[in-house]
Amino acid sequence: MGKLYVVPTPIGNLKDITFRAVEVLKEVDLILAEDTRTSGKLLKHYEIPTQMHSHHMHNEHKTVDGIVKRIQEGENIALISDAGTPAISDPGFLLTRACIEAGIEVDCLPGATAFVPALVNSGFPNDKFVFEGFLPVKKGRQTRFKSLAEETRTVILYESPHKLLKTLPQIIEFFGAERQISVSREISKIHEETIRGSAEEVLKHFENKPPKGEIVIVIAGKK
């Protein structure tokens, strides 16, 4: 029987990958990639010749059984996402669970994840925190905000750049204008920046300077 490797990939700088990750990607029989075009650039950079197949949120329900069967028949398969650690707000959970249920060994390598540097860079307490990923777009969104506003632990959210200017006013509405927050974007890339201050101050910054790149919002817990 083969093995499933869950392999983190760089979230920005291509150098943010481990020696072991490159080694595994070269040695496995197949790489499952969220977007083969995006991952193709990484594989080309590190001269990784391994064949890729698409594995993303739109097809993972259909492909899981076939992948499990291939591993059971002896293939070693690696799962990667476009950036970061698979299954963290990316496809991966369904396949990992299916492999575990089938008695297949799963080996998740340590590596890049966007919320960790954003949390550390915030300067907020990080001994205890709540990772929410992407909040619901419509249904249940206000309910989650109301609940998180009472959270005493540091709260971490993911957000897309074109929605940030809608999310920050909601943070002000539910958490208060003076709640301290930290917004990190373009982590590990050339234009990386972290903006810290009250929710109102951070909103004014991004109203004057429209955000680009993937966003991590870190919110101080309620005192």
Domain boundaries, the chain: 3-108, 115-219
pLDDT in tens, 68-98: 999 999 999 999 999 999 999 888 999 999 9
Query: Phi and psi at residue 96, in whole multiples of 5°?
Result: -60, -45
If residue 155 lies in a helix (H) or strand (E), which one and from where to where? Answer: strand 154-159
Cα–Cα dist 44/38, whole Å: 10
Q: Are 114 and 9 within 8 A, CB to CB? A: no
pTM (predicted TM-score) = 0.92
CATH 3.30.950.10 at 115-219, yes or no: yes
pLDDT in tens, 36-45: 999 999 999 9
What percent of the chain stands above pLDDT 90?
Answer: 92
Token pair for 203: 């909103």
Superfamily of domain 3-108: Tetrapyrrole methylase, N-terminal domain (3.40.1010.10)
pLDDT in tens, 142-169: 999 999 999 999 999 999 999 999 999 9
57: pLDDT strictly greater than 90:
no
Residue 106 C-alpha from the chain's centroid: 19
Q: Are 144 and 136 within 8 A, CB to CB? A: yes
DSSP per-residue string spanning 54-96:
E--TTTHHHHHHHHHHHHHTT--EEEE-SSB-TTSSSS-HHHH
Query: Phi and psi at residue 158, in whole multiples of 5°?
Result: -100, 145
